[in-house]
Chains A and B, each alone.
Chain A
């Protein structure tokens, strides 16, 4: 089981963490809500929780709780721009359908 970051995404995470001045890594997860079942979560991590798994990619710690990992296994997180907007994108092989905006998905 693994989750990966592209180099572009890793660079951004490192920069954001440095700017924030604290935090050990970034949490990736899912929560049940949203228009198409599951929604992605991406948050700074200050403390590890009991059920967390930690991956490391391009020098960035990725923290995922075991429940989310089932839905996120094999996911690659990238950072991209669309016009003026920019942010993180999830490419998740488990997602069968995503809502139009891509903020949530179902398996």
Chain B
């Protein structure tokens, strides 16, 4: 007997055609899968009732083990147990070296830019390791839903660049999953609270996990979440809270810092339990076995705990303040503050963050699960289980995309903050007579000159039929898919020759770099305008020179006497000199001069061509 779920009015699926979808929070430490059933989004437990799947993969002789069992083996079998695939995914070998915090793996030295980890099961890329985690979560979802998934939404940090996003998608594909789309983690948390269905406004997502802290400022505008700023500390989290408590116990109990490994680990575990107990209780009793024998008994109350962790919370508040400044807003402009990550269960964290933003924080949804829940809601909409009028959540591109035109200028095709997916086309033409190829240089950025933007890709369109300059029509189409990946296609319209490129930059931009590029575009606005004027004048000047030289070569000797020719040549030379200089007004002046000097020549050419056209024809033929 089939087990049925309640559908939205009019959205019942035909038998065997249920549009099953899941949201996956692929985390650094733990991963989760969630789905919407009978209108309710929930994370799904495994057979033992555990919702969290430790993001650890172990390769054994018997096969691949994912989750808790793998995590437990991390110390005994470190080389074959991969615990930080998310920190490696989409990164180059150079990036990994710069992570430099003693990753316990053996990296394979090789030509390719993708790092590979040497394990018992062969040399594996972080993409393959992540695929194992996704496979386990997907099969949990399929067992729970009783059918095959039509697609998934996977969350990624807001600061993930194109390469990291592409690698995450590759991992999903390897796991046999169709990715509806990737969703930013803070956006998913906002969706879980239904903020996407509320009025436009600015929200802060405070994400304090076990080992990392992220703050994201999002602006909802016409149904689109735009990431205004991100910040945080990649080495600050709940583990640091535990360390503070453990240190306090050591001070109280007189345990030396160089106590054995086992003692310290036991203490960390006890500290963690004490911290968790203090979420509900006002104080917690502690009994610690001393390394030299005997016991220490004590009590940790909430006030003392708060004092211990306050310096850590202050650090996160500092990061919040910086993020607000980057976004150019004040704390008072933030409408909702969403709590994400297990460490936001600590009451003191909620209190201090609430004080900073001047409003109570949103913490009703389990902060460990809120990201997966938001992803599941989005997946449900994308699978087509909601009526059409439900808003589809969109993302925006952070920097304008364009291409290089003559003179090293940037022609923006898709301006920044355009919602994706998007496709925009623009027509271009040839610059020289008989030009048969065109170089397309794709750039990203807000500045007017190519040199100041970031180069994404270059390709050439060949096989343009020879025509006079300006006659060819070349349509260049920019497409950005829902995951922010760019495809550029150039097509010559008369003959239909095409060339295209998909941009998968191996190193993307960090949010700081994006912010820096935006700042530069404002700071250099005037300079850029002057540069654009100069470049445009040069292009125009060169076009005039090109055209005049072509004309002179064609009929200059027939139509001009020596004196006339000298005058034109002199004007032309002055223009050539002006174009080589950097004063746009001089170029304009010399262009005008050339035009004036050549007026009679242009007239003669026109008359000649009319005579040629009329030769041998009767009047009534016109």
Contact = CB atoms under 8 A, between A and B. Distances in A.
Contacts of B144: 84-85
Contacts of A34: 14-16
Interface in A29-55: 31, 33-35, 39-47
A94 B1 CA distance: 15
For this complex, into which size category does the number of interface residues on chain B fall?
A: 20 to 34
B118 interface: no
A88 B9 contact: no
Please classify the interface of chain A as helix (H, G, I), strand (E, B), loop, or mixed, using the class held by over half of its residues: strand
A40 B4 contact: yes
Interface string A35-79: 100011111111100000000000000000000000000000000
Contacts of B5: 42, 87-88
Nearest to A88: B4
B47 interface: yes
Contact of A44 (B1, B7, B15, B46): B7
Nearest to A80: B3
A43 B11 contact: yes
Interface in A1-52: 12-13, 15-16, 19-20, 26-27, 31, 33-35, 39-47
A27 B9 contact: yes
Given A16-B39, A20-B39, A82 B3 contact: yes
Given A84-B47, A103-B2, A43 B10 contact: yes
A44 B143 contact: no
A39 B15 contact: yes
Given A26-B6, A82-B3, A84-B143, A42 B12 contact: yes
B15 A42 contact: no
B51 to A, nearest CB: 12
A90 B5 CA distance: 12
B15 A16 contact: no
B9 A101 contact: no
Contacts of B11: 43
Contacts of B12: 31, 41-43
Given A83-B143, A85-B143, A85-B146, A35 B10 contact: no
A16 B146 CA distance: 20
Please classify the interface of chain B as helix (H, G, I), strand (E, B), loop, or mixed, using the class held by over half of its residues: loop
Interface string B570-608: 000000000000000000000000000000000000000
A45 B9 contact: yes
A83 B146 CA distance: 10
B189 interface: no
A93 to B, nearest CB: 14
A89 B1 contact: yes
B16 A103 contact: yes
Interface string B33-62: 000011110001111000000000000000
B590 to A, nearest CB: 72
B229 interface: no
Contact of A87 (B8, B9, B37, B45): B37
B145 interface: yes
B140 interface: yes
Contacts of B1: 89-90, 98, 102
B3 A16 contact: no
A42 to B, nearest CB: 5
Contact of A42 (B4, B10, B146): B4
Contacts of B46: 84
Nearest to B41: A19
B9 A44 contact: yes
Contacts of B2: 87, 89, 101-103
B59 to A, nearest CB: 26
A15 B15 CA distance: 25
Interface in B132-150: 140, 143-146
B140 A42 contact: no
Contacts of A84: 44-47, 140, 143-144
B188 to A, nearest CB: 19
Given A16-B39, A84-B144, A89-B1, A99 B15 contact: yes
Interface of A: 12-13, 15-16, 19-20, 26-27, 31, 33-35, 39-47, 80, 82-90, 98-99, 101-104
Interface of B: 1-12, 14-16, 37-40, 44-47, 140, 143-146
Given A43-B12, A103-B2, 17 more contacts: A12-B38, A16-B40, A26-B6, A33-B14, A34-B15, A40-B4, A41-B12, A42-B4, A43-B7, A43-B10, A83-B47, A84-B44, A85-B146, A90-B4, A98-B1, A103-B16, A104-B15
4 pairs of A and B residues whose beta carbons are closest in the complex = A87-B3, A103-B15, A34-B15, A102-B1
19 contacts: A26-B6, A31-B12, A34-B15, A39-B14, A40-B4, A41-B7, A41-B12, A42-B4, A43-B6, A43-B11, A82-B146, A84-B47, A87-B3, A87-B4, A89-B1, A89-B2, A101-B16, A102-B1, A103-B4
